[in-house]
Amino acid sequence: MYTYYNYNTPISILSKQTTLINIFVLKSLIVYKKIMKKIIYLIICMLLANVTWSQDLHLGSSAAITTLPGGCVFVGGDVSVDASASLTTTSDATASGSFIVSGSTTGNITYKRYIEDNNWHLVSAPVKSQSIPSFVDAAAGNAIKVSSLTGSHAVAYYQNTNTAGMRWTYYNDSPTLENQEILEDFNTGQGYSMKRTAAGDYTFTGTMANADVSVTIPKITTDGAHLWSAIGNPFPSFLTVSEISAA
Protein backbone atom coordinates (compact mmCIF):
# COMPACT_ATOMS: atom_id res chain seq x y z
CA MET A 1 0.00 0.00 0.00
CA TYR A 2 1.38 3.43 -0.97
CA THR A 3 1.35 6.50 1.21
CA TYR A 4 0.57 9.79 -0.55
CA TYR A 5 2.52 12.92 0.25
CA ASN A 6 1.52 16.51 -0.26
CA TYR A 7 4.84 17.71 -1.72
CA ASN A 8 5.20 21.49 -1.71
CA THR A 9 8.75 22.04 -2.98
CA PRO A 10 8.38 23.60 -6.44
CA ILE A 11 10.50 22.75 -9.46
CA SER A 12 11.11 24.10 -12.91
CA ILE A 13 12.93 21.74 -15.27
CA LEU A 14 16.09 23.38 -16.55
CA SER A 15 17.45 23.85 -20.02
CA LYS A 16 21.13 23.35 -20.80
CA GLN A 17 21.57 27.09 -21.12
CA THR A 18 20.19 27.81 -17.64
CA THR A 19 22.80 28.50 -14.96
CA LEU A 20 20.48 29.03 -12.02
CA ILE A 21 17.73 26.81 -10.70
CA ASN A 22 14.37 28.54 -11.04
CA ILE A 23 12.17 27.75 -8.08
CA PHE A 24 8.48 28.57 -8.29
CA VAL A 25 5.61 28.20 -5.86
CA LEU A 26 4.20 24.74 -6.44
CA LYS A 27 1.19 23.60 -4.51
CA SER A 28 0.06 20.07 -3.79
CA LEU A 29 2.31 18.02 -6.07
CA ILE A 30 1.30 14.53 -5.02
CA VAL A 31 3.89 11.83 -5.45
CA TYR A 32 4.30 8.30 -4.20
CA LYS A 33 6.43 7.83 -1.11
CA LYS A 34 8.18 5.06 -3.00
CA ILE A 35 9.79 7.55 -5.41
CA MET A 36 10.28 10.53 -3.08
CA LYS A 37 14.01 9.93 -2.71
CA LYS A 38 14.45 9.63 -6.49
CA ILE A 39 12.62 12.87 -7.16
CA ILE A 40 14.53 14.82 -4.51
CA TYR A 41 17.80 13.42 -5.85
CA LEU A 42 16.88 14.37 -9.39
CA ILE A 43 16.04 17.94 -8.38
CA ILE A 44 19.50 18.26 -6.84
CA CYS A 45 21.09 16.85 -10.00
CA MET A 46 19.29 19.17 -12.39
CA LEU A 47 22.33 21.43 -12.64
CA LEU A 48 24.29 18.51 -14.07
CA ALA A 49 21.73 16.90 -16.34
CA ASN A 50 19.00 18.04 -18.67
CA VAL A 51 16.56 15.20 -18.03
CA THR A 52 14.25 14.51 -15.10
CA TRP A 53 12.91 10.98 -14.66
CA SER A 54 10.22 9.44 -12.46
CA GLN A 55 8.10 6.28 -12.30
CA ASP A 56 4.68 7.91 -11.88
CA LEU A 57 3.80 11.59 -11.80
CA HIS A 58 0.67 12.93 -10.15
CA LEU A 59 -0.22 16.63 -10.01
CA GLY A 60 -2.83 17.48 -7.41
CA SER A 61 -5.03 20.53 -6.95
CA SER A 62 -3.39 23.77 -8.16
CA ALA A 63 0.00 22.07 -8.72
CA ALA A 64 2.23 23.35 -11.52
CA ILE A 65 5.30 22.05 -13.35
CA THR A 66 6.97 23.90 -16.22
CA THR A 67 9.67 22.40 -18.45
CA LEU A 68 11.89 25.13 -19.88
CA PRO A 69 13.28 25.11 -23.45
CA GLY A 70 15.81 22.31 -23.89
CA GLY A 71 14.62 20.49 -20.76
CA CYS A 72 12.99 17.06 -20.68
CA VAL A 73 10.69 15.24 -18.28
CA PHE A 74 10.50 11.44 -18.76
CA VAL A 75 7.89 9.45 -16.85
CA GLY A 76 8.35 5.68 -16.96
CA GLY A 77 4.86 5.02 -15.59
CA ASP A 78 1.58 6.92 -15.65
CA VAL A 79 0.70 10.61 -15.32
CA SER A 80 -2.41 12.21 -13.87
CA VAL A 81 -3.09 15.94 -13.88
CA ASP A 82 -5.83 17.47 -11.75
CA ALA A 83 -8.25 19.81 -13.52
CA SER A 84 -6.88 22.77 -11.53
CA ALA A 85 -3.21 21.82 -12.03
CA SER A 86 -0.92 22.70 -14.94
CA LEU A 87 1.81 20.72 -16.65
CA THR A 88 3.48 22.94 -19.26
CA THR A 89 6.32 22.34 -21.72
CA THR A 90 7.89 25.35 -23.44
CA SER A 91 10.20 26.26 -26.30
CA ASP A 92 12.09 29.27 -27.62
CA ALA A 93 13.97 30.28 -30.78
CA THR A 94 16.83 27.84 -30.14
CA ALA A 95 15.46 24.89 -28.15
CA SER A 96 12.30 22.93 -27.37
CA GLY A 97 11.29 21.16 -24.19
CA SER A 98 10.04 17.57 -24.18
CA PHE A 99 7.50 15.64 -22.11
CA ILE A 100 7.71 11.88 -22.64
CA VAL A 101 5.49 9.26 -20.97
CA SER A 102 5.84 5.49 -21.24
CA GLY A 103 2.49 4.77 -19.59
CA SER A 104 -0.80 6.62 -19.95
CA THR A 105 -1.71 10.22 -19.21
CA THR A 106 -5.00 11.55 -17.87
CA GLY A 107 -5.88 15.21 -17.64
CA ASN A 108 -4.79 18.16 -19.77
CA ILE A 109 -1.25 19.21 -20.54
CA THR A 110 0.01 22.37 -22.29
CA TYR A 111 2.70 22.88 -24.91
CA LYS A 112 3.92 26.35 -25.89
CA ARG A 113 5.49 26.32 -29.36
CA TYR A 114 7.53 29.45 -29.99
CA ILE A 115 7.34 31.06 -33.46
CA GLU A 116 10.07 33.59 -34.14
CA ASP A 117 8.38 35.65 -36.88
CA ASN A 118 5.08 36.42 -38.62
CA ASN A 119 5.65 34.11 -41.60
CA TRP A 120 3.70 31.00 -42.53
CA HIS A 121 4.77 27.81 -40.70
CA LEU A 122 3.64 24.19 -40.86
CA VAL A 123 2.62 23.20 -37.34
CA SER A 124 0.93 20.17 -35.80
CA ALA A 125 -0.83 20.03 -32.45
CA PRO A 126 1.20 18.14 -29.80
CA VAL A 127 -1.99 17.36 -27.87
CA LYS A 128 -5.44 15.96 -28.61
CA SER A 129 -8.76 17.80 -28.26
CA GLN A 130 -7.43 21.33 -28.82
CA SER A 131 -10.36 23.30 -30.22
CA ILE A 132 -9.50 25.37 -33.29
CA PRO A 133 -12.21 28.00 -32.62
CA SER A 134 -10.77 28.48 -29.13
CA PHE A 135 -7.23 28.49 -30.51
CA VAL A 136 -7.90 31.32 -33.00
CA ASP A 137 -9.92 33.39 -30.54
CA ALA A 138 -8.07 36.59 -29.60
CA ALA A 139 -8.45 35.73 -25.91
CA ALA A 140 -6.20 32.69 -26.39
CA GLY A 141 -3.24 34.95 -27.12
CA ASN A 142 -2.09 33.04 -30.22
CA ALA A 143 -2.21 36.20 -32.37
CA ILE A 144 -3.60 34.35 -35.41
CA LYS A 145 -3.65 36.51 -38.54
CA VAL A 146 -7.14 37.22 -39.92
CA SER A 147 -7.68 38.20 -43.56
CA SER A 148 -9.26 41.63 -43.91
CA LEU A 149 -10.73 40.53 -47.28
CA THR A 150 -12.23 37.10 -46.54
CA GLY A 151 -12.36 36.95 -42.75
CA SER A 152 -10.45 33.66 -42.85
CA HIS A 153 -8.10 32.85 -39.99
CA ALA A 154 -4.53 31.78 -40.77
CA VAL A 155 -5.04 28.16 -39.75
CA ALA A 156 -5.39 25.90 -42.78
CA TYR A 157 -5.14 22.26 -43.82
CA TYR A 158 -4.48 20.92 -47.32
CA GLN A 159 -7.54 19.47 -49.09
CA ASN A 160 -6.48 17.52 -52.19
CA THR A 161 -10.03 17.25 -53.56
CA ASN A 162 -10.50 21.03 -53.84
CA THR A 163 -10.04 22.94 -57.05
CA ALA A 164 -6.41 23.77 -57.88
CA GLY A 165 -5.48 27.04 -56.19
CA MET A 166 -8.12 26.48 -53.48
CA ARG A 167 -6.62 23.49 -51.68
CA TRP A 168 -5.35 25.22 -48.56
CA THR A 169 -8.60 25.34 -46.59
CA TYR A 170 -8.87 27.99 -43.86
CA TYR A 171 -10.86 28.30 -40.69
CA ASN A 172 -13.70 30.77 -41.20
CA ASP A 173 -16.62 31.61 -38.90
CA SER A 174 -18.96 32.13 -41.88
CA PRO A 175 -17.61 30.11 -44.81
CA THR A 176 -18.75 31.04 -48.33
CA LEU A 177 -15.83 29.79 -50.44
CA GLU A 178 -14.64 26.31 -51.33
CA ASN A 179 -11.50 26.73 -49.24
CA GLN A 180 -13.24 27.93 -46.06
CA GLU A 181 -14.60 25.75 -43.25
CA ILE A 182 -15.71 25.93 -39.65
CA LEU A 183 -13.00 23.62 -38.32
CA GLU A 184 -13.43 21.87 -34.98
CA ASP A 185 -10.48 20.26 -33.16
CA PHE A 186 -6.97 19.90 -34.57
CA ASN A 187 -6.58 16.43 -36.08
CA THR A 188 -3.86 14.45 -34.33
CA GLY A 189 -0.80 14.02 -36.52
CA GLN A 190 -2.02 16.41 -39.21
CA GLY A 191 0.02 19.45 -40.21
CA TYR A 192 -1.55 22.90 -40.51
CA SER A 193 -0.28 26.03 -42.23
CA MET A 194 -0.43 28.83 -39.67
CA LYS A 195 0.57 32.48 -39.42
CA ARG A 196 0.86 34.86 -36.47
CA THR A 197 0.70 38.65 -36.52
CA ALA A 198 4.05 38.75 -34.65
CA ALA A 199 6.56 36.46 -32.99
CA GLY A 200 5.28 34.58 -29.95
CA ASP A 201 3.90 31.29 -28.65
CA TYR A 202 1.28 28.98 -30.05
CA THR A 203 -0.31 27.52 -26.91
CA PHE A 204 -1.86 24.07 -27.24
CA THR A 205 -3.82 22.56 -24.35
CA GLY A 206 -5.48 19.16 -24.35
CA THR A 207 -4.97 15.51 -23.56
CA MET A 208 -1.87 13.58 -24.57
CA ALA A 209 -1.99 10.74 -27.09
CA ASN A 210 -1.44 7.48 -25.18
CA ALA A 211 -0.75 5.29 -28.21
CA ASP A 212 0.79 5.40 -31.66
CA VAL A 213 -0.91 7.83 -34.03
CA SER A 214 -1.60 6.75 -37.63
CA VAL A 215 -2.16 9.21 -40.47
CA THR A 216 -3.55 8.10 -43.83
CA ILE A 217 -1.49 9.28 -46.81
CA PRO A 218 -3.46 9.40 -50.09
CA LYS A 219 -2.15 7.16 -52.84
CA ILE A 220 -1.64 8.45 -56.37
CA THR A 221 -3.49 6.17 -58.79
CA THR A 222 -3.66 8.46 -61.84
CA ASP A 223 -0.73 9.62 -63.94
CA GLY A 224 -0.10 13.33 -63.56
CA ALA A 225 -2.01 13.57 -60.28
CA HIS A 226 -0.39 15.39 -57.38
CA LEU A 227 -1.51 14.61 -53.84
CA TRP A 228 0.10 16.31 -50.88
CA SER A 229 -0.10 15.54 -47.18
CA ALA A 230 1.03 17.73 -44.31
CA ILE A 231 1.81 15.55 -41.30
CA GLY A 232 3.44 16.38 -37.98
CA ASN A 233 4.60 15.09 -34.62
CA PRO A 234 1.51 14.44 -32.43
CA PHE A 235 3.46 14.28 -29.15
CA PRO A 236 4.89 17.00 -26.85
CA SER A 237 8.48 15.92 -27.51
CA PHE A 238 10.52 17.44 -30.30
CA LEU A 239 12.12 15.58 -33.23
CA THR A 240 15.10 16.90 -35.11
CA VAL A 241 15.04 17.02 -38.91
CA SER A 242 18.03 14.67 -39.05
CA GLU A 243 16.16 12.04 -37.01
CA ILE A 244 13.09 12.25 -39.25
CA SER A 245 15.08 11.98 -42.49
CA ALA A 246 16.97 8.95 -41.17
CA ALA A 247 13.80 7.09 -40.12
Segments of the chain with pLDDT less than 50: 1-49
Predicted pLDDT of residue 225: 72
Model pLDDT, residue 41: 38
This prediction has a pTM of 0.79
Q: Where are the domains of the chain?
A: 4-107, 116-201+217-236
pLDDT in tens, 80-134: 999 999 999 999 999 999 999 999 999 999 999 999 999 999 999 999 999 999 9
Q: For residues 41 and 93, give the distance between their C-alpha atoms in angstroms, rounded to a whole number.
A: 30
Q: Please, which residues bridge with residue 169 across strands?
A: 157
The vertex-102 CA angle with 101 and 107, nearest 5°, equals 45
